[in-house]
Amino acid sequence: MAIHPIDFRYGTPEMKSIWTEDHRFVCIVRAEIALAHAQAVVGMIPTEDAEFIEKNAPAASHNRAKEIEAEISHDTMAIVRAISEVCGDAGRWIHYGATSNDILDTATGLQLKEAFDLIEGKLGNLLTVLLMRAGETRDLICIARTHGQHGIPTTYGLRFAIWASEVARHINRLRESRGRVVVGQMTGAVGTMAAMGEHGIEVQTEMMKYLGIGSVDVSSQVISRDRYAEYIFMLANIATTLDKIGIEIRSLQRTEIGEVEESFSKKQVGSSTMPHKRNPIKSEQVCGLARIIRGMVEPALLNNTLWDERDLTNSSAERITFPETSILCDHCLRLMTGIIEHLTINTAAVSRNVLYLHGINLSESIMIELTKRGMKRQDAHEIIRESSMEALISKTPLADLLGKKAEITKYISAEELTGLLKPENYIGLAGVQVDNLIRKLTPYIVQ
């Protein structure tokens, strides 16, 4: 019976498949084949033996490796023996000059390469949807909030664009970090390449070229875990962006705000006891799982603080941190993409909330105009502040109060006051910013 929710509740099949035991076994076999190939290229082993290994090693059985491990209690050596059994006399070259982590860390590099591809693809999908929604809602005026209170107006287009810009930065970070994270090594017992003799650097270079991943410059017995910590932190950063978007959707779906709503199917149940409920459960799931992903940052950092040339404290932790962060982040990206794509916007509620304070929240526009026309900025701020407080208490439209003040009408007529307090007249360059971002980020989107 499955215990971990990743097994039955969270994750996409494509990301889960990367971190299965069977696939890791395949990656380890590939690393051993690549080592033999590289050693043949530099003349360390016979070419025909390397070719025989390349042809026959994929037939090695993971189940057989597990049987051997049960006898010898060493997972890597068990795999080496299982591969050797299907490679005949050429099997004597399997793992020649290597230490366990040369193969294991290189296999991790292969898994990370695949994970990077999936995460970048999912980020691209999310960016595509965000830019689409930004364009659709370019001119949809809504109330902006700071400290949870109504501010001046903004647009939904700008809101979606801000999220899109953040996602695009994550794509850039992913691309920039790939070369640092997706690497392998072949440096031997403590990093000196002693077992390879004069061919060590050539073997490592040729091996990683064969596998299509980068090479470390130097290493101890293991690849330095700052590389992997960067990957985990990057996924935590992505998850935090998704968390931020989810929190905003949840807030805007509050009954008393009611501006947006997650899609809700015809037969979907919101509550076991309150039949009317339509809860933002997908956004809540993203926010909850983001906590787990962020929680993996500390163990990822501590995995780099190993004794001397290495110890084994990182190994057990990485069996959890790599699959959990990768699977959950990938899952949340897919989930949030669907949320945004199918998000319903209640334009009636949006309009209602923009006008909720009867123009008081647009007081800045009056202050700016008064300053333009000759009043000192600080004096204008104080007059408008006092009038705004009075309007809030008396629930009187701000334009009515200001129209009775001679110090105001000296500069601005009552008719102009009404125009300055219309939301559509004070959204600045929101639309232009959205247009500029869409043009800039179009090369990133999934066609």
Distance CA 265, CA 254 (A): 19
Contact yes or no for 211/30 (Cβ under 8 A): yes
> Which DSSP symbol is given to 100?
H
Q: Specify the length of the chain in residues.
A: 447
Contact yes or no for 287/304 (Cβ under 8 A): no
Strand-pair partners of 344: 261
Distance CA 125, CA 337 (A): 7
Given the residues 73, 147, 265, 276, the one annotated as active site: 147
Indicate if 271 belongs to the active site: yes
Contact yes or no for 402/408 (Cβ under 8 A): yes
In angstroms, what CA-CA distances link 171 with 121, 122, 125, 140, 245? Answer: 9, 10, 11, 28, 17
Given the residues 263, 271, 316, 413, the one annotated as active site: 271
In the chain, what are the helix, strand and coil shares in percent, each to the nearest 5?
70, 5, 30
Could you give the 3-state DSSP secondary structure of residue 287?
Answer: helix
Query: Structure tokens of 211?
Result: 């596998």
At a CB cut-off of 8 Å and minimum separation 6, what does 170 contact?
123, 234, 237, 238, 241
Could you give the 3-state DSSP secondary structure of residue 151?
Answer: strand
Distance CA 11, CA 324 (A): 9
Q: Which of 160, 165, 124, 241 is nearest to 431 (CA)?
A: 160
Indicate if 147 belongs to the active site: yes
Element (H, E) at 387: helix 377-394
> 52 φ, ψ to 5°?
-65, -40
Q: Which residues are catalytic?
A: 147, 271
